[in-house]
Amino acid sequence: MSTSSDRPDLAGLERAELEALFRGAGIPVFHARQVFRWIHRRGVTDFDAMTDLSRDLRADLSTRFTIETPKLVGRDVSSDGTEKLLFELGDRRRIESVFIPDTPLRTFCISSQVGCAMDCAFCLTGRMGFVRNLTAAEIVAQVRVLAQQLHLLEDRFNIVLMGMGEPLHNYEAVMSALRILNDDHGLAIHPRRVTLSTVGLVPAIDRLAREPLMPNLAISLHATTDAQRGAIVPINRKYPLEELVAACKRVPLKRRNRITFEYVLLDGVNDTPADARRLVTLLADVKAKVNLIPLNAAPGIPFDRPSDERVNIFARILAEHGMTVSVRKSRGRDIRAACGQLIVEGQKKSTGQRAASLM
Ligand code: SAH
């Protein structure tokens, strides 16, 4: 009996890759399509349960291949209905994904890396440092398991790449996962239902702009001067604001579509009326909407959440200048599922490869 490690895992293969693998193994290619549908549309990962395949083929496939799924090891439900799922991966590393029931549509917030190298000053995940990239299989599996657990395989939902990690720092696996999720034989999730949030890796934004399957883009802006952004979002020292905004302008957008600019409000730091007015100027020529995120404070994070009044004043200045602005409701704070709170203890990498070493 072979162990799972010496059998290729089918869970992270795009349909074309699965077809090529079957072709090479002498298995009729239409079976690849059937297997893909079982995994990605129906959430079935046990060959024995793939009832439209012959008994012999099922037996043959299970000796040659495996279909791995990260283990669901925890599930917390917030008083506001938000749920946080904790997964254990094949190497025992852990990641979290979040289900938000009503924003207004159901939304899955998924992770792209274990930890994160970007080291933003207000984000707990950044404290972990970078541990490793997720594979396409691990990214897709979060969606599959969430949809199964919540009985949503047949329903519509949105996906936001706003969990742990910087998705554009794991470009290949993230795009491969999006192609699998988009496939008509899988969940057929349209790219307009997917939002990729990035700290602003300029070359990767340019690359993303050329993708046939381009998700909605959200940029974690958080400051309006290079001095301030460089202090709280270290990657700004490599890709300063002017370059970031220029890259955003190069992104081809469908009519009525806009780039979301996320702006975490830190009390007394970046939330003054002068900041708001600079933000208006900075985004003047960009098809933009602004999503204000009052800080989710946490022990060890050296900032405070501003008062609602400060948030409202900031939002009003943007609105008065004709900008589309929303304030993100903090969801799942009681289960530490809110933005920037995803961290799994005990797997910090002490030699953390952080943004500084990427510069
Ligand atoms: N790396 C990506 C996606 C992950 S975080 C990015 O930077 O965009 C998703 C959003 O949560 C980002 O806008 C991030 O800046 C924000 N965030 C991080 N920590 C936060 C905190 N403590 N409170 C509120 N938002 C936070």
Helix/strand/coil for 228: helix
The torsion angles phi and psi of 23, rounded to 5 degrees, stand at -60, -50
* Tokens (6 digits) for 328: 């993100």
Residue from 127, 208, 262, 336 whose mutation best tests the ligand 1 pocket (most atoms within 8 A of CB)? 262
The pLDDT averaged over each successive group of 10 residues in the chain (359 residues) is 72 98 97 98 97 97 98 93 95 95 89 97 92 98 96 94 97 98 97 97 98 96 98 98 98 93 98 98 97 92 96 97 92 76 60 38
Output the pLDDT for position 255. Answer: 84
Annotated catalytic residue within 19, 68, 96, 166: 96
* Tokens (6 digits) for 13: 């293969």
Query: Under 8 Å CB-to-CB from 218, ≥6 apart: which residues?
Result: 160, 162, 195, 196, 197, 198, 259, 260, 261, 262, 291
* Tokens (6 digits) for 93: 């590393």
Query: Under 8 Å CB-to-CB from 252, ≥6 apart: which residues?
Result: 209
The torsion angles phi and psi of 334, rounded to 5 degrees, stand at -65, -20
Q: Tokens 């999730």 belong to which residue? A: 189
Output the pLDDT for position 348. Answer: 52
Helix/strand/coil for 243: helix
Output the pLDDT for position 347. Answer: 63
Helix/strand/coil for 294: strand
262 close to ligand 1 (CB < 6 Angstrom) = yes
Provide the greatest CA pair distance for the chain: 70
In the residue annotation, 109 being an active-site residue is answered as no
Output the pLDDT for position 346. Answer: 58
Number of residues that this document lists for the chain: 359
Type of residue found at 77: V
Output the pLDDT for position 358. Answer: 38
